[in-house]
Structure formats: structure tokens, C-alpha cells
Amino acid sequence: MKFAQPFEDYEILSRVGAGAMGTVFRARQTKMNRVVALKVLRPSLARNRKYVERLRREARIVGALNHPNIVTGYDLGEEGGYHYFVMEFVEGQSLRSLLQEWGLFPEERVLEVGIQVAGALEHAFARGVIHRDIKPGNILIDEAGNVKLTDMGLAKGPTDLTLTRDGATVGTPQFISPEQAIDPQNADIRSDLYSLGATLFQMATGAAPFSGDSIGKLIDQVLNEPAPLVSDVNPGVSEGLSLVIKKLLAKDPALRYQTPGELLVDLRRVARSEAPGVDLKRLEKADRAYG
């Protein structure tokens, strides 16, 4: 997306990245003299009310959340035919980029990221919001090492009953829960927790739990193959963290943590070198129904 400076209050500094709906720029909000992330809807979509409403909806959801581990929304508008959403700019990198650079993370850092993302999800859940696309690319790590959850474009708020992405599964195959892969309308907070589990699995082992060579094979694995125990892939990971991730990746949502608050209790136990409240035999029995 190329254009002259069309925004009165925003000076575009550089292009950060692009997605299906638009482009994100690093910009300066001149009146406040602060650097922001400026998300601009693609001009080809700006004439479609559905996509304009999706951008507005994302802004409303972000605006309803106020948590140190969730990117803050600042402004929403339209100028010169461009629809835009302005957010906090995070000086740092995505977890995806860091995984590509480092391969895997020490357990202490896996726990820190897990606790911070779970805290963000707990805040959102209390306000009726599920993210529906938790993955390393949507987790930013700032220069101080703090987590910032971003990209609420697929999030579902308390009044959104049938939101889906046209003709596609909502979510990312490597990190999507079985129930969400079958039907996006099945997604609830436990689906977000599954996706967090898949993310923590990759942090601890260097690879996602499933890796089919096509989307079809990958989804088949998500639906039908038990996730391996993290400590079987990386023996350096503690039994406690392995059990927590195993529970997060249960095929049956009823066997997972039911809320982010429940997960936080066990993550903090593991961080204190205490045993989490996980029944491995029950999870393994459920696995045998799939394996």
C-alpha cells in the first residue's frame, strides 16, 4: 500500500507489515508527539462496509480492554478515503521472530510468557472477549521482556454471534484447537487456552505440536492425533510444565483448564517448583481414544 501522507494528525515513518485486511505502519501522532502503530484498511476493501465494520469492531474490542499485557487502542477514524485504527506501538519483536532466531526458550521464560498471556486472556474473558488467534505472531515482546497480546481482528466479543472469516477456518492451523478447526462458532475461552498451549509447546521444544506437510494433514493431526508430552520431545523441561501443556492440548475441551484463572494457578505452582493439579492418567486415557 503506497500513498502520500493523507493523515492530518499522523506522520507515517515506516511500514511494519501487512495482512489480509490492511497494512500496519509505524507513525507519529503529531498532536501527542508519540509513536504509534497505524493500521490502515486496504483501499480495495474500504468500499466494502463489512470490512470497514470489522476494523471498527476490532477497535471497539481493544478499546474495551485495559491490561498491561494487551496492546492499547488510541484512535479510530477515516481520512482521505482511508479507514484506520491507531494502537500502541510496541518497541520489540514478535514471539514468532524470536522463535525463528533462538529455536526454543528456557523454561523460566516459557513460564513468564505463559503467565502474562494467561493474565491477558483472563482480563479479556472477564469482559466476554475471546481472541481466537493466539499464536507466536500475535504475541509481542517489548524491549523490557514484557508480553503484549495484539491483533484482535478475529476476536469475538460478547455481542458477536456469527463472526467468521469468509470461506476459511478462523485461526492458524498449527495453533488452532480441534473444535475451532471443525467450526469457528465452537470456539470459546478453552480454545484460546489450547492455542496458548500450542504456543508454549513450541517455545519449550522449538516446534509446534503438529507439523503436517499440508493444511489438510495438519488439521487431521490436530483432530485425531494426541499431542506428545513436552518432556518426551525436550527432556530438559520439567514434569510440571510438561503436564500443564499436556492439559492445555487435550482434544476434549472439558479436559482442559476451563478458565485462564485456573491455568494461572498451575503455572505459578510450576514456577515455584510445585506440582500442578493435572491428572496425567486421565489425559492419557483420553489420548488412547485418539491414538
Residues marked active site are found at: 133
Instruction: Tell me how far CA of residue 108 lies from CA of 47, 114, 150, 232, in angstroms.
Output: 48, 10, 23, 18
Burial code (b: 16+ CB inside 10 Å, e: under 16) for 43-66 equals eebbeeeebeebbebbbebbeebe
Q: Provide long-range contacts, Cβ within 8 A and 24+ apart, for 276-285.
A: 276/240, 276/243, 276/244, 276/247, 278/243, 278/244, 278/246, 278/247, 280/243, 280/246, 282/255, 283/246, 283/247, 283/250, 283/255
Q: Identify the burial level of 26 via C-beta atoms within 10 angstroms of its C-beta, where 0-12 means exposed, 13-18 middle and 19 or more buried.
A: middle
Task: Give the helix ranges, DSSP H, for the chain.
Answer: 43-46, 49-63, 95-102, 107-126, 178-182, 189-205, 215-224, 230-233, 239-248, 260-271, 280-288
Q: Is 277 helix (H, G, I), strand (E, B) or coil?
A: coil
CA distance 93 to 84: 23
